[in-house]
Chains A and B, each alone.
Chain A
Amino acid sequence: MIKRSRWTKFRESEGATGLLMLSPTALYAILMLAAPLGTIILYSFLTDGYLEIIRDFTMANYIEAWTNDLYRSVMIRSLGVSMSVTFVTVVLAFPIAYFVSFHVEPSKKSLWLFLITIPFWTSYLIRVFLWKVILGYNGVVNSGLMGVGIIDEPLTFILYNVNSVVITLAHAYAPFAILPIFVALEKIDRSLLEAGQDLGESKFVTFCRVTLPLAMPGVVASVLIVFIPTIGDYVTPQLVGGPEGRMVANLIQLQYLKLDNYPLGSAIAVSAMGIVTLVSLVFLALTRRYLKGPKG
């Protein structure tokens, strides 16, 4: 009888198989996500010595990040922009998802979803540049409106400010918002809507009392999917935001690459992350009653 070593036993166990299967991802996540995150958190507590980082533990970076008017206003603007983007995107996405789910023949639904994802075929950067062309001083919108005589002078409030950032981001994130809402709407048993009408409610009230609450998990998912990445978006504000459209990612880039102040940049980044987490948690808490599934 061969006495098997502990190692052999472990290697043949189910746990080892599981570990083996998830180790590439885990390794990747540790190296590419956890390690940089840890470094940034570490940096944010160190002291800036202009071209070097002094290993002195300090809270000064956070105090600076939270009290400096400039940083605070950029942070608030970022929050405002991403909330507006989220609001605009989800409000526009809902009717589209509703239309595809309820008014498109089942056989054509996948075609519609395919068409919705067409913007992804072009690079994100090119799409942002195209918005520049559309919204610019001599852009499509202005020359068009001037051509038909609605305005005499080009509109200037549509490019290089917060508005253009919101428009561009809302367009970029629309498919991300449409798909979760579509999935939630697809799951609604159509006889529930008939039941609502059968019990005396009009189509609109049935929508409010049945469809909307049942679609809420999709709406919540859309909100989070749009809100979390947009607050940290860097390219769009850089290209179409102009000086007054700068957001927190641009500020962090400034600290890191222009001013070489890694600790302050890190503190701003960590703060932004904290704020996003907090806002998302509050949002989840507010919508919790719609999210308890059949198992909850």
Chain B
Amino acid sequence: MIAFQDVHKYYGDYHALRGITATIRAGEFFSLLGPSGCGKTTLLRTIAGFEGISSGAVMIDGKNMAGVPANKRPTNMVFQSYAIFPHLTVAENVGFGLRRAGLSKDEMAKRVGDALEMVGLAGYGARAAHALSGGQRQRVALARALILKPKVLLLDEPLSALDKKMREQMQVELIRLQRQVGITFILVTHDQEEALVMSDRIAVMFEGEIAQLADPETLYRRPSSRRVADFIGTMNFLPAKILSEAGGKIEVEAEGFGRATVEADQAPGAASGDGAAVGFRPETLTILFEGQQATDREATAVIEEVVYFGDMTYYDVRLDGAKTSTRISMRNVFGRPVLEIGAKTRISWSPGALVLFR
């Protein structure tokens, strides 16, 4: 559907995109995720045609888009600022792109009405654009783009201007809308949670490069680098030594955990040169009740910090033999007291939950 072939982009001396090669499939909800300045918006704009590229190729449906201006591309965009035309009504905004379709007045009104209904704004057509709330403007921008039936809908941080509640509601609605219309959505976001919730696949970008491209679960469970692991959710790292590697099994010795054997797929990344480490998510370790048995392996630790979140409690614990503390998150269960700082505790863990970074 969309293919980037070794795309480079320079702004003067600044190397904004550094050899992007990726394929986005038809009909998928694809996210470009990364911190600000990583080139994700630039990449999106090369699809829309607002940004030229210095070398490489951007293909849409097998056609090279070099030299094709924005108004001739089968893409439509929802801008970060929504870019609602302030001098037009809601209906005029939504129908803006239909002028060239040469529709009759009735047909036009019907198409606009349908589009507004699809985004839940039926009956808002006559409103002035500037009289809308943030969420409504967002919907108008969506209707305006989707009414043209593009092959690809580009969304440039569309939810960043909304408050938390509105954002969560719009996330669900965007997913529903994407399933309903069945076209490819490409979302740019710096919010890892948003990307995880909405996407079929995510490309994590740092400094103009794609660090990892995978589905949300793989990205979360098997991040290919420490940086990706750190950017998506929380991950603890403990220094480790690789003892032996044979037949798809790797034997490691990690601080705090001791010796363990992990599968080769638990080490998806290439060597970073920083030395090996094992990583684990806070929820993969469990603090054991008194008398409770570990399901797999057991370690001992001292609690150094307790952060109470209502439904959850975060414990910063120091595993015996580790030089740094690690974070464990526990769901608060009725009848179980929150542990105190300084308490010694036993911890249940499993080698299968570890990720090995070389």
> Residues of A with Cβ closer than 8 Å to B?
189, 191-192, 194-202, 209-210, 213-214, 290, 294
- CA separation between A143 and B83, bound complex, in Å? 54
Known contacts A198-B48, A198-B70, A200-B148; A214/B86 CB under 8 A: yes
- Most chain-B Cβ atoms within 10 A of its Cβ — which of A195, A197, A200? A195
Q: B286 within 8 Å of A by Cβ? A: no
Residues of B within 8 A of A194 (CB): 48, 50, 70, 77, 79, 83
Known contacts A194-B70, A200-B148, A202-B71; A214/B87 CB under 8 A: yes
Residues of B within 8 A of A209 (CB): 96
- Residue of B with least CB distance to A188: B86
B139 CB to nearest chain A CB (Å): 15
Q: B336 within 8 Å of A by Cβ? A: no
B78 CB to nearest chain A CB (Å): 9
Residues of B within 8 A of A201 (CB): 71, 96-97, 99-100
- CA separation between A50 and B76, bound complex, in Å? 77
CB <8 Å contact, B130 and A195:
no
Within 8 A of A (CB), among B33-80: 48-50, 69-72, 75-77, 79-80
Residues of B within 8 A of A294 (CB): 86, 130
- CA separation between A197 and B71, bound complex, in Å? 5
Q: Which 3 A-B pairs have the closest CB atoms?
A: A199-B97, A195-B83, A191-B83
Residues of B within 8 A of A191 (CB): 79-81, 83
B338 CB to nearest chain A CB (Å): 49
A43 CB to nearest chain B CB (Å): 46
Known contacts A198-B76, A198-B77, A199-B148; A192/B71 CB under 8 A: no
CB <8 Å contact, B83 and A189:
yes
A-B pairs with beta carbons under 8 Å apart, 15 shown: A189-B83, A192-B83, A194-B70, A195-B83, A197-B50, A197-B70, A198-B71, A198-B76, A199-B144, A200-B72, A200-B148, A201-B71, A201-B97, A202-B69, A202-B71
Known contacts A191-B79, A194-B79, A294-B130; A199/B96 CB under 8 A: yes
Residues of B within 8 A of A213 (CB): 87
- CA separation between A200 and B97, bound complex, in Å? 6
B77 CB to nearest chain A CB (Å): 5
Knowing that A198-B71, A198-B77, A199-B144 touch, tell me 12 more A-B residue pairs with CB under 8 angstroms: A191-B83, A194-B48, A195-B79, A195-B83, A198-B75, A199-B96, A199-B145, A200-B97, A201-B71, A201-B96, A201-B100, A294-B130
The number of chain B residues touching the other chain, given as a range, is 20 to 34
By secondary structure, the B interface counts as: mixed
Known contacts A201-B99, A294-B130; A195/B77 CB under 8 A: yes
- Residue of A with least CB distance to B131: A294
- Most chain-B Cβ atoms within 10 A of its Cβ — which of A189, A200, A210, A290? A200
By secondary structure, the A interface counts as: helix
Residues of B within 8 A of A195 (CB): 77, 79, 83, 85
- Residue of B with least CB distance to A212: B87
- CA separation between A213 and B96, bound complex, in Å? 14
- CA separation between A12 and B72, bound complex, in Å? 68
- CA separation between A201 and B100, bound complex, in Å? 8
A262 CB to nearest chain B CB (Å): 49
Residues of A within 8 A of B81 (CB): 189, 191
CB <8 Å contact, B69 and A197:
yes
- CA separation between A130 and B75, bound complex, in Å? 56
- CA separation between A276 and B199, bound complex, in Å? 63
A122 CB to nearest chain B CB (Å): 39
B52 CB to nearest chain A CB (Å): 14
Residues of B within 8 A of A198 (CB): 48, 50, 70-71, 75-77, 145
Residues of A within 8 A of B80 (CB): 191
Residues of B within 8 A of A192 (CB): 83, 85-86
- CA separation between A189 and B141, bound complex, in Å? 15
- CA separation between A290 and B81, bound complex, in Å? 22
B85 CB to nearest chain A CB (Å): 6
Residues of A within 8 A of B97 (CB): 199-201
- CA separation between A294 and B145, bound complex, in Å? 23
A220 CB to nearest chain B CB (Å): 13
Looking at the complex, which one of B79, B83, B100 makes contact with A200 (CB distance below 8 Å)?
A: B100
Residues of A within 8 A of B79 (CB): 191, 194-195
- Residue of B with least CB distance to A289: B87
CB <8 Å contact, A199 and B76:
yes
CB <8 Å contact, A290 and B71:
no
- CA separation between A191 and B82, bound complex, in Å? 8
- CA separation between A192 and B96, bound complex, in Å? 12
Residues of A within 8 A of B99 (CB): 201
- Residue of B with least CB distance to A213: B87
- Residue of A with least CB distance to B50: A194
- CA separation between A200 and B76, bound complex, in Å? 9
- Residue of B with least CB distance to A194: B50
Residues of B within 8 A of A200 (CB): 71-72, 97, 100, 148
Residues of B within 8 A of A189 (CB): 81, 83
B148 CB to nearest chain A CB (Å): 7
CB <8 Å contact, B87 and A196:
no
Residues of A within 8 A of B87 (CB): 213-214, 290
